[in-house]
Amino acid sequence: MLRANNIRASYRETVILDNINLDVHLGEFAGIIGPNGTGKTTLLKVLSGVKKPLSGTVYLDNRDIKTMSRHEIARIMAVVPQSSFVPPLFTVEDVVSIGRYAHTKKRFTTTVSDQEAINKALVLTDTNRFRHRYVSELSGGERQEVLIARALAQQPKLLLLDEPIANLDIKHQLKILELIRKLVDSQALTALMVIHDLNLAARFCSKLILLHNGVVHAAGKADEVLTIDNLAEAYGVAAFVDYNAHADSLQVTAVECLSQNQTIGDQKNGPGLSMEENS
């Protein structure tokens, strides 16, 4: 569904991404993780075609994204940004209807198929109950649901999300991630998300991509990526990694920061134990 080959990107003279290679396959819910400043949002901008790389190629549904128009891209890929300005007097339905622009032949017209897609997006995201309210009246979690509904109204094959649970309380974090997981499982969607919470990433994502120093440090299933060595090298922390039976997923517990020249091998009293060492 999405492939990046040898992506290199910069801001002015500073190289942010260097020789990035990754694949996101049909039906995956992939999570991009990594420390602050490592290029996660920049990578999402390159993958969505918003930012041009210095070199390399992005393939969307087996097509070079550089050869595609914005409308062609929008019929396949929808993006949910970290934040999005919405005029305060727009209703929820107004905002969701914007997602139909990629399919609209005439401006300011709504066809039967448009309305069906809007209604379906509102129902899938449980936002139909406040479709006539102004977006300015909603909570942060509700606004995020509306932005996802707007993306779904595009009827995309691929959903890109940039920190969709940032600044939300734990209830809305779970609600948003459960929604995305459900959409991937039931609506033939593929999703790629930037996320900071490692435990929620391990719980909901089928694949993790760890960025560090502008490269893909590790990629694969949670137990292949969230290792004590990777956490030490990428985040500079000693951590426990074990299994949480209640969440049915890995759980990372950061114990202490490592000094610049310190390694996990220097920890003599427990920090950094893996599942096997804890068993």
Q: What's the pLDDT score for residue 265?
A: 57
- Clarify whether residues 119 and 194 are in a common domain: yes
Of 203, 245, 140, which Cα lies nearest the Cα of 193? 203
- Clarify whether residues 221 and 254 are in a common domain: no
262 pLDDT higher than 70:
no
d(CA 36, CA 58): 24
Residue 163 lies in a domain: yes
- Clarify whether residues 71 and 117 are in a common domain: yes
Q: pLDDT higher for 266 or 92? A: 92
Confidence of residue 85 (pLDDT cuts 50, 70, 90): confident
- Clarify whether residues 137 and 248 are in a common domain: no
- Clarify whether residues 44 and 110 are in a common domain: yes
103 pLDDT higher than 90:
no
Adjacent-strand bridge partners of 218 = 210
How does 59-87 read in b/e, with b if 16+ C-beta sit within 10 Å?
ebbeeebeebeeeebbbbbbbbbeeeebe
Residue 101 lies in a domain: yes
- Clarify whether residues 176 and 270 are in a common domain: no
- Clarify whether residues 28 and 142 are in a common domain: yes
- Clarify whether residues 132 and 263 are in a common domain: no
- The count of structural domains within the chain is 2
- Clarify whether residues 221 and 159 are in a common domain: yes
- Clarify whether residues 108 and 187 are in a common domain: yes
| Average pLDDT score over residue span 33-45 | 95
110 pLDDT higher than 70:
yes
Q: What's the pLDDT score for residue 91?
A: 96
Contact 191, 180 (CB under 8 A): yes
Contact 93, 132 (CB under 8 A): yes
Last residue of some domain: 201, 226, 251?
A: 226
Using one digit for the tens of pLDDT, what is the confidence trace for 216-241? 999 999 999 999 999 999 999 999 99
Q: What's the pLDDT score for residue 86?
A: 81
Domain limits for position 263:
236-279
Residue 211 lies in a domain: yes
Last residue of some domain: 226, 250, 270?
A: 226
Q: pLDDT higher for 82 or 47? A: 47
Return mean pLDDT, the chain. Answer: 91
Using one digit for the tens of pLDDT, what is the confidence trace for 141-158? 999 999 999 999 999 999
User: Where residue 220 sits, what CATH number does that domain have?
Assistant: 3.40.50.300
Residue 270 lies in a domain: yes
Using one digit for the tens of pLDDT, what is the confidence trace for 112-137? 999 999 999 999 999 999 999 999 99
Residue 262 lies in a domain: yes
Please give the share of the chain, as a percent, with pLDDT higher than 90. Answer: 82
104-108 long-range Cβ contacts below 8 angstroms, 24+ apart: none
- Clarify whether residues 195 and 61 are in a common domain: yes
Using one digit for the tens of pLDDT, what is the confidence trace for 157-185? 999 999 999 989 999 999 999 999 999 99
Alpha helices for the chain (secondary structure H): 40-47, 70-76, 92-97, 112-124, 140-152, 170-186, 198-204, 222-225, 228-235, 275-278
| Average pLDDT score over residue span 179-199 | 95
Last residue of some domain: 226, 251, 266?
A: 226
pTM over 0.85: yes
- Clarify whether residues 241 and 219 are in a common domain: no
Residue 169 lies in a domain: yes
Residue 231 lies in a domain: no
